[in-house]
Homo-oligomer: A and B are copies of this chain.
């Protein structure tokens, strides 16, 4: 046949090869620039091959999104453990970890929320988002001293915390702020700003706390 140079007919590890190709493509050029055919090309395989493993373009990207979100959850969890015993410290550490991950992987982060590229209702994706939410609830419960039910949306403090973290990272990524800062400085400056900001947010929780928990 054509196209088969030294490889065997069966690739052997095509699924992970395609995911790796997709990851680097998205990282470099963004989710919109991802192409099933180019991914197949990079994996050294015909353009029809991916269908057998992912069925669909969005199928492939959905698996990538799950991968990315899992990494994010793990890194946040690690940061919380490293933060020591104080729950408010833990909460801040989680926020910083979220922000760090998001601004370190802007295009991957964006991908995970693009419903034209990802099956937002995929069970695995929903599961990892669930894990993310659970971590937040736990941190929040510890920090405010009261047990919070998973109906996180009713609580203004929790909402404030997520919104700040999510919003700040998004604005950095979308160049709403720090537009003209050179790439190398961007991250450190963003983190410094985030630190100040989350400190300020901490005062909100400080105010509504009995102060001795």
Contact = CB atoms under 8 A, between A and B. Distances in A.
A149 interface: no
A162 B116 CA distance: 27
Contact of A166 (B159, B160, B176, B203): B176
A133 to B, nearest CB: 9
A130 to B, nearest CB: 11
Contact of A203 (B164, B170, B171, B204): B204
Interface residues of A, number: 39
Contact of A167 (B32, B117, B152, B162): B162
A153 B177 CA distance: 7
A200 B156 contact: yes
A203 B167 CA distance: 20
A168 B159 contact: yes
Count of chain copies: 2
A163 B162 contact: no
Name the prevailing secondary structure of the A interface residues. helix
B33 A160 contact: no
B197 A204 contact: no
A26 B182 CA distance: 33
A154 to B, nearest CB: 8
A30 interface: yes
Contact of A163 (B120, B129, B164): B164
Nearest to A154: B193
Interface in A25-40: 30, 32-33
11 contacts: A113-B176, A120-B175, A153-B178, A153-B193, A157-B200, A159-B168, A160-B164, A163-B171, A165-B167, A167-B170, A170-B170
